[in-house]
């Protein structure tokens, strides 16, 4: 197993952001280092090794940073799940709760064909509300969900409980 401690070392804890009581995992110092950006994208691709992926779905907004790079590496298309009101075409929508708030996300109805093999990518799994909403949207398009991959998993929040049991991967755990 590859050593990802350099990624972990470059992630900064910000106390009480965006709300009191939240310890925010700030990935910006990691992203700004070219070799760590490359290593993080490689780590995501490793989570899908040996799998044919038609579409990588990235979740607004930090999921986009990794999602399109991973899609290019895997030879897949990229599909964004966006916060409400940003996608111009016909959408499916779902509301959900996350560690520090509530939101509604949407996906374009024609972005994934029935049966296409999908990998969902996001920076962080906390309570699992956001990822569970993404799973529902992907399933609403009758896609074949191959896996869900995160850079960071906050294990103490048990986000996996809300997700399908198979093929959930995280690269760094707290």
Ligand X SMILES: Nc1ncnc2[nH]cnc12
Per this entry, what is the length of the chain? 174
Q: Which is nearer to ligand X, 147 or 159 (CB)?
A: 159
Considering only the C-alpha atoms of the chain, give the largest distance between any 2 of them, rounded to a whole number of Å: 43
Which stretch in 40-48, 50-58, 84-92, 121-129 sits in contact with ligand PRP by CB under 6 A? 121-129
Binding to ligand PRP (CB under 6 A): which residues in 17-36?
none
The option from ligand PRP, ligand X, none interacting with 54 (CB < 5 to 8 A, set by class) reads none
The residue among 103, 107, 31 whose CA lies nearest residue 69 is 31
Q: Residue 74 carries which DSSP code?
A: H
Q: Are 169 and 94 in contact, with CB atoms under 8 Å apart?
A: no
The option from ligand PRP, ligand X, none interacting with 129 (CB < 5 to 8 A, set by class) reads ligand PRP
| Residues at the interface with ligand PRP (CB under 6 A) | 59-62, 98-99, 103, 122-131, 159
């Amino acid at each position: 197993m590859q050593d990802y401690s350099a990624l972990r070392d470059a992630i900064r804890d910000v106390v009480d952001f965006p709300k009191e009581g939240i310890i925010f995992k700030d990935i910006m110092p990691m992203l700004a280092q070219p070799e760590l950006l490359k290593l993080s994208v490689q780590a995501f691709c490793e989570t899908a090794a040996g799998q044919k992926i038609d579409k990588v779905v990235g979740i607004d907004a930090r999921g986009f940073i990794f999602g399109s790079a991973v899609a290019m590496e895997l030879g897949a298309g990229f599909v964004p799940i966006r916060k409400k009101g940003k996608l111009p075409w016909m959408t499916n929508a779902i509301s959900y709760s996350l560690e520090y708030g509530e939101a509604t996300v949407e996906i374009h109805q024609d972005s994934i064909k029935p049966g296409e093999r999908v990998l969902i990518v996001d920076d962080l799994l906390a309570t699992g509300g956001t990822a569970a909403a993404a799973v529902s949207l992907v399933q609403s398009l009758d896609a074949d969900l191959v896996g869900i991959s995160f850079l960071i998993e906050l294990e103490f929040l048990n986000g996996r409980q809300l997700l399908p049991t198979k093929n959930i991967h995280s690269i760094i755990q707290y």
